Amino acid sequence: MKKLRNVIGKCFMCSIFCMFMNDLLSILDKLNILGDFCSLAGYSKHFFKMASLLWLFVMSYQMWKGHKTVKDDAIRYRFLVYNIFAWSLAAIPTGLILLINHGWENDPYKWDWMPLMRSGLHGCTFFYRYCFSFSS
């Protein structure tokens, strides 16, 4: 485990954690254990899926940038900056979708434009429905 104590190793562990949580929630959904927590699980799955992709982006950036730094302070705070970047960029869209769903849920005219939480055929996941008619 000492080899994972660098910046790439910490980012890798955060990415693995996000993938694990996403897969755990998917397994619990397939086993129909979630019950009343289906909506919460759907938003959590969306959050962890976005966070795992952002952690992969952070690791790619770190490898592209290389291990060369000018100052030692940059190394100390780099993981903190990556942490803030990945978690907040995953939380902001998930929070916005949550607010839109709760704000527009009583207006049937806006249902075609909002991502909905579905508990049904596809389990506890987001269902993106777009109302575009292409008539010729």
CB 87 within 8 A of CB 58: no
Q: According to the model, what pLDDT value does residue 48 have?
A: 95
Q: Which residues lie below 8 Å from residue 19, measured CB to CB, with a gap of 6+? A: 48, 52
Q: How far apart are CA 13 and CA 35, in angstroms?
A: 30
pTM above 0.85, yes or no: no
Q: Which whole number is the average pLDDT over 4-32?
A: 90
Q: Which residues lie below 8 Å from residue 14, measured CB to CB, with a gap of 6+? A: 51, 55, 83, 86
pLDDT at 116 exceeding the cut of 90? no
Percent of the chain residues topping a pLDDT of 90: 30
Residues 83-112 pLDDT 10s: 999 999 999 988 988 887 777 666 656 555
pLDDT at 51 exceeding the cut of 90? yes
Q: According to the model, what pLDDT value does residue 42 have?
A: 85
